[in-house]
Amino acid sequence: MYVRNILMVISLALSIAIGLVIARGQQAANNAAPVGPAYHPLIGLSLDTLKEARWQSDRDNFRARCEALGAKVIVDEANSDDSRQAEDVQSLLAAGVKVLVIVAHDGNAMSKSVIEAHNQGIPVIAYDRMVMNCPLDLYMSFDNVKVGHQQAQYLVDHLPTQGHGKIVRIYGSPTDNNARMFKQGQDEVLDPLIRSKAIEVVHEDWADDWKPENAKRIMNAAIAKGVQYQAVLASNDGTAGGAIQALKENGLAGKILVTGQDADLDACQRIASGTQSMTIYKPVKALATLAAERAVDMANGGRVASNATVNNGQIDVPSILHEVYSVTKDNMLDTVVKDGFHSYDEIYGDLPAADRPARPQ
Ligand code: BGC
């Protein structure tokens, strides 16, 4: 019950905190809920991408909770294209959404869209990724600096010579503010060790649009240098997958530590079979459900509530940040499986019976 208990505590803490926080004034003048039993507010969800499996789960859980609360949801997906995402927002506004929820492809580019929504009296929630330099209403995400912290700490602790070694670093998309926060958390752990020369970074680069093929190219460039390294600090499971493919083609998969993030099914299977070392489990169902509740509340004219603030370059944005969990072979059953994120059979089904852990009762 490890994760579930923690989630219950967090969820309770969030509810209390949200209840206690003095809400900001409602941005949306025309956002007051019309009265009447048949009122079904329309909520717009503008996604950057659905490439990584997590976004499908975010979308499905968000929509399910909104609908259970009597709201309707329109979802648009921009396929990692800034102009397309700006157009998506315009069409959602034209459709009459009462609240806009954005997962930005480019956190800077989307600030114009937030201003456009505000000009029409529509409040905006930045979901998972911050939108920079604009008067956002709410930011709902995970503790992204802590994600980077946990990834780097895992590597440092598990290097063949603990705390010492050579590593490759693969960052995420340079247009995603989260990618910078993950790096910030990693830097907090690594910088002192790099300064003391205990750790050496032999190759590093940013994977445009978080694409696995870009991560593979970065890994191949590291391999082509012909230098030794013991670990790859990949910033999410997609980039880990690209790096592991390159390692595999060079006979190195399973011999080099590789980090990740998202607890994607593919990554959990790689952890079970030994080619990936860890991932970070972010309970997206809990966040998406809470985001739906906040969005419907705001659409019904409720006040914006939060339990933290995060600066986006222009304001301290009222924020709700969820806890994250480091997952390895050792605690997979107690985290991802116990929480129902993936089943035992999904993760271990393809492994020879002798390599599977005992099935939980
Ligand atoms: C998210 C990660 C995700 C990545 C690529 C980041 O903003 O926080 O969970 O893996 O985008 O989609």
pLDDT tens-digit readout, 5-59: 444 444 434 443 443 332 333 344 344 444 445 679 999 999 999 999 999 999 9
pLDDT one-digit tens code per residue, 309-319: 999 999 999 99
Residue nearest (by alpha carbon) to ligand 1 atom 5 = 210
DSSP E strands, 109-230: 124-127, 138-142, 165-171, 199-206
Instruction: Tell me what pLDDT residue 360 has.
Output: 93
Stated pTM of the model = 0.90
Number of the ligand 1 atom closest to the C-alpha atom of 54: 9
Q: Give me the DSSP letters along 75-103.
A: EEE-TT-HHHHHHHHHHHHHTT-SEEEE-
Instruction: Tell me what pLDDT residue 38 has.
Output: 60
What is the whole-number distance in angstroms between the Cα of residue 145 and the centre of ligand 1? 13
What is the whole-number distance in angstroms between the Cα of residue 100 and the centre of ligand 1? 20
Of 344, 355, 323, 299, which Cα lies nearest the Cα of 30?
299
Q: pLDDT band for 361, please (50, 70, 90 cuts).
A: confident
Answer for the pair 166, 193: CB distance below 8 angstroms, yes or no: no
Distance between CA atoms of residues 77 and 246, nearest Å: 29
Write down all domains in the chain, each with its CATH number in brackets.
42-136+284-322 (3.40.50.2300), 144-282 (3.40.50.2300)
| Residue of 4 and 317 predicted with greater confidence | 317
- Mean predicted lDDT score pLDDT of the chain: 91
Residue nearest (by alpha carbon) to ligand 1 atom 7 = 178
Number of the ligand 1 atom closest to the C-alpha atom of 128: 8
Helices 237-249 and 212-224: crossing angle in degrees, nearest 10, is: 40
Instruction: Tell me what pLDDT residue 304 has.
Output: 82
Mutate to test the pocket of ligand 1, among 58, 175, 210 (most ligand atoms within 8 A of CB): 210
pLDDT one-digit tens code per residue, 76-126: 999 999 999 999 999 999 999 999 999 999 999 999 999 999 999 999 999
Q: pLDDT band for 60, please (50, 70, 90 cuts).
A: very high
Distance between CA atoms of residues 65 and 58, nearest Å: 11
Mean pLDDT, residues 270-285: 97
Which residues does a 6 A CB cutoff place in the pocket of ligand 1? 52, 54, 128-129, 172, 176, 178, 210, 236, 261-262
| Residue 35: φ, ψ to 5° | -85, 160
Distance between CA atoms of residues 344 and 327, nearest Å: 15
Answer for the pair 193, 156: CB distance below 8 angstroms, yes or no: yes
For residue 348, pLDDT over 70 is answered with: yes
Instruction: Tell me what pLDDT residue 28 has.
Output: 40
Instruction: Tell me what pLDDT residue 37 has.
Output: 52
Instruction: Tell me what pLDDT residue 303 has.
Output: 85
Distance between CA atoms of residues 17 and 245, nearest Å: 44
pLDDT one-digit tens code per residue, 113-170: 999 999 999 999 999 999 999 999 999 999 999 999 999 999 999 999 999 999 999 9
Instruction: Tell me what pLDDT residue 305 has.
Output: 82
Distance between CA atoms of residues 279 and 233, nearest Å: 11
- 196 to 69, 169, 199: CA distances (angstroms): 55, 18, 8
Instruction: Tell me what pLDDT residue 353 has.
Output: 94
Answer for the pair 275, 251: CB distance below 8 angstroms, yes or no: no
